[in-house]
């Protein structure tokens, strides 16, 4: 009896090896052998190139692209993979062949954390996905909807500024306060109230840790996704961690929906009320409880962490380069003054600050390695044959760190976007493939405009409202995940620099929601 688990493991490995031999033999003599495939490094038997990815795959793949070219072919277990690592390669896949690469490959993240891919991020491409995206675009992320909630974002950013002002001179965890701000602003847009109000700071910190863990797990390369027969073993413990985290999220989302249903206030127009109302309709827009929770999961994870992490990276860079911070503060002072906080209406009048934001997105792209796409049919990209079922990754980090595209790419230099620089007219909205932190094409981030507004307003407030000091050097080490995390959270000491009354009170009657 004691040898049974070992026998099962050995049997699985033998079976996987046989399947590998059969499939590679077939692949060598099949149609693909008559086509020009992209170049790439040799891999290991059965595992392919999986052992070569390392702890920071975006950096590893960027280095491999320098040797093998901007369209790189890998074999991860039994899965054919292609990686695009230049602006032209990314445009070929996500513009020229966008429709063919609009699908997602199945994986454990979508299965165990995203309600078996019934969400928006991991859902298969098709009518159901289009309906969910259209619903979110019109009801939550349209310019009209975003304008209606301008006061909400400004209220929550003011509350954040007050919290930093009250901690004047003390060392604070910047990322957790940013995440709480982004989450509460999103919560008020989604369901008309904050997720974490007064006295629930502990819950906000726990939620930030949950979001961070989700982003790390979703970025893991799970051997069970790529090697036949090994999924049940969960060799890396990833599936077990995903299931435990999913139970925590499911409880959180159940509480959100229950509290919303028990609230008797008249908030019939908020997004969650709209979603709940779709439970009773007929036709393609009908939603069930699982689909509602899956959408909320997307909003409360991707919709908060990408914004707060980007602002944390941006502030860290400015603290490290006080001359750039001073220039940004001087511009804000000249436009806004020191008698009030910056508002969203000011942001378009701040060209240097806008360059700071773009440079933050360039040097620290929120999604360094794109969420994977999958080829629906055989196609040719730049004369390379890409077989049906191939998984595509766009290495956004490699593109934004390529010296052929960006001179001195490791330097934080907003001037490259300013004063008639070569990148002056670039934006981050998927139009310029040199800079696509939100992706591009059909599967680009649906919440781009809300995320961009939050990033700009939060960072502008931290720059305008405070001077910053740190103990020692700022650690800029990356920790890989589906979003680019900081290995060491930013801890800094804020000192208010505006007139004292600016930090008093919370403006607007909606602020007490």
Residue set of the binding site: 445
Burial status of residue 438 (CB atoms within 10 A of its CB: 0-12, 13-18, 19 or more) = buried
Q: What is the DSSP letter of 73?
A: E
CA distance 273 to 269: 6
Q: Which of 362, 215, 216, 365 is nearest to 303 (CA)?
A: 215
What would the two tokens of residue 218 be? 């979703």
C-alpha 155/C-alpha 54 separation (Å) is 42
Q: Which two tokens stand for residue 11?
A: 């049997």
Sheet with 79-84, strands from edge to edge, namely: 71-76, 79-84, 391-394, 373-374
| CA separation for the pair 417, 355 (Å, rounded) | 5
Strands 466-469 and 478-479: unpaired
Q: Which sign does the torsion angle of CA 172, 190, 309, 324 carry?
A: negative
> Is 357 strand, coil or helix?
helix
Measured between alpha carbons, how far is 468 from 324 in angstroms, rounded to an integer? 13
Of the candidates 118, 52, 126, 123, the one whose C-alpha atom is nearest the C-alpha of residue 83 is: 52
Q: Are 72 and 61 in contact (CB under 8 A)?
A: yes
Does the CA dihedral 54-62-315-211 come out positive or negative?
A: negative
- For 490-513, letters b (16+ CB in 10 Å) and e give bebbbebebeeebbeeeeeeebeb
Binding residue numbers for heme:
445
- In sequence order, the β-bridge partners of residue 496 are 466
Are 422 and 87 in contact, with CB atoms under 8 Å apart? no
Asked if 310 and 335 count as a contact pair (C-beta separation under 8 A), the reply is no
Number of residues written out for the chain? 513
What spatial distance separates the first Cα and last Cα of the chain, rounded to whole Å? 61
In whole angstroms, give the CA distance from residue 194 to residue 184: 5
Residue given tokens 């003390």 in the structure block: 170
Tell me the CA distances in angstroms from 206 to 179, 188, 214, 300, 316, one per residue in order.
Answer: 11, 19, 12, 13, 23
Q: How far apart are CA 344 and CA 408, in angstroms?
A: 32
């Amino acid at each position: 009896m004691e040898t049974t688990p070992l026998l099962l493991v050995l049997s699985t490995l033998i079976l996987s090896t046989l399947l590998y031999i059969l499939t590679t033999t077939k692949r060598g003599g099949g149609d693909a052998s008559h086509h020009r495939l992209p170049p790439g490094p040799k891999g290991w038997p059965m595992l392919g190139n999986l052992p070569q990815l390392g702890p920071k795959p975006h950096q590893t793949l960027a280095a491999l692209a320098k040797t093998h070219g901007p369209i790189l072919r890998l074999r991860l277990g039994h899965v054919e993979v292609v990686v695009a690592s230049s602006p032209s390669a990314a445009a070929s896949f996500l513009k020229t062949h966008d429709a063919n690469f609009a699908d997602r490959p199945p994986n454990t993240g979508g299965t165990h954390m995203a309600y078996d891919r019934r969400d928006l991020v991991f859902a298969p491409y098709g009518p159901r996905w289009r309906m969910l995206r259209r619903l979110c675009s019109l009801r939550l992320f349209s310019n009209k909807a975003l304008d209606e909630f301008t006061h909400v974002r400004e209220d929550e950013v003011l509350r954040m500024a007050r919290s930093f002002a009250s901690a004047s001179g003390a060392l604070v965890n910047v990322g957790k306060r940013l995440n709480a701000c982004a989450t509460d602003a999103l919560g008020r847009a989604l369901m008309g109230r904050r997720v974490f109000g007064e006295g629930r700071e502990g819950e906000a910190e726990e939620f930030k840790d949950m979001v961070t863990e989700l982003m790390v797990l979703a970025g893991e390369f799970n051997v069970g996704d790529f090697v036949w027969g090994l999924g049940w073993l969960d060799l890396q413990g990833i599936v077990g961690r995903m299931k435990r985290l999913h139970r925590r999220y499911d409880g959180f989302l159940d509480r959100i929906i229950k509290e919303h249903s028990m609230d008797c206030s008249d908030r019939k127009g908020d997004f969650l009320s709209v979603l709940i109302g779709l439970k009773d309709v007929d036709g393609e827009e009908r939603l069930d409880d699982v689909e509602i929770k899956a959408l909320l999961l997307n909003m409360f994870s991707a919709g908060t962490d990408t914004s707060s992490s980007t602002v944390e990276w941006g502030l860290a860079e400015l603290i490290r380069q006080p001359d750039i911070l001073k220039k940004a503060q001087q511009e804000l002072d000249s436009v806004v003054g020191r008698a009030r906080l910056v508002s969203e209406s000011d942001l378009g009048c701040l060209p240097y600050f806008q360059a700071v934001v773009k440079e933050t997105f360039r040097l620290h792209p929120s999604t360094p390695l794109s969420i994977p796409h999958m080829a629906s049919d055989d196609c040719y990209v730049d004369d390379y044959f890409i077989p049906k079922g191939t998984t595509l990754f766009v290495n956004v980090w490699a593109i934004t760190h390529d010296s052929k595209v960006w001179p001195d790419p490791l330097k934080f230099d907003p001037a490259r976007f300013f004063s008639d620089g070569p990148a002056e007219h670039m934006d981050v909205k998927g139009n310029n493939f040199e800079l696509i932190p939100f992706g591009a094409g059909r599967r680009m981030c649906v919440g781009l405009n809300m995320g961009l507004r939050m990033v700009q307003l939060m960072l502008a407030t931290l720059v305008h409202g405070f001077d910053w000091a740190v103990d020692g050097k700022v650690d800029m080490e990356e920790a890989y995940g589906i979003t680019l995390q900081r290995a060491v959270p930013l801890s800094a000491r804020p000192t208010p620099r505006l007139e004292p009354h600016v930090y008093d009170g919370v403006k607007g009657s909606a602020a007490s929601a």
